[in-house]
Amino acid sequence: MTKSLKELILVAEFTAIIAVLSQFTIPLGLVPLTGQTFAIGLTATFLGKRAGTLAVCMYLLLGLIGLPVFSGMTGGMGILFGPSGGYLFGFILQSFVIGWWIEKTNSRFFHAWCANLFGSLLALVVGTLWLSFSSHLPVQTALLSGFVPFLLPELLKSTGAAYVGTTLRKRLRFNIQKLV
């Protein structure tokens, strides 16, 4: 099996993991609390910049064509370009930054945690700005409804994603550099 085939298989597996964890949802107004950001962080921590970002893009593409992979078993352009669409597009930036940070430093827990926290905050910023724009909300209102309520959950999910991702890398002796 070639290295690129192994990478594509991992991308497909993590795309499915993101889709499954996205279904764990707690409704909180316009933007629900989901398992998506944990899954994005886990994917980027484990796969790195290139494969992690590709898995996120594949997940978004599946949702764009209408497959029910987004939270609440939804999909389609209306979701991707609706009020919560900025968070979905922010996942691309989140996965890229997490993967890049881990590849530039190392895959130890502290660096993975910092990378996950920073990546999650970037996705929240992108999502909040899109929420303000798409829903015609003042930025302050968007911050209070689409940013502030998610700070503590993102801290917890970032910690979990960093821990699980670094533990899996150690236990499986996985090195993404061997795939590229």
Question: How high is the mean pLDDT of the chain?
Answer: 91
Any idea where the domains of the chain sit in the sequence?
Answer: 3-178
| Range 64-86 average pLDDT | 94
Q: How confident is the model at residue 119 (pLDDT cuts 50, 70, 90)?
A: very high
Domain 3-178 has CATH 3.40.50.2300: no
DSSP summary character for residue 72? T
Whether pLDDT at 179 is above 80: no
Beta bridge partners of 34: 25
Contact 55, 179 (CB under 8 A): no
Angle formed at CA 56 by CA 163 and CA 136, multiple of 5 degrees: 105
* pLDDT score of 176: 52
Give the CA diameter of the chain: 53
| Range 131-149 average pLDDT | 93
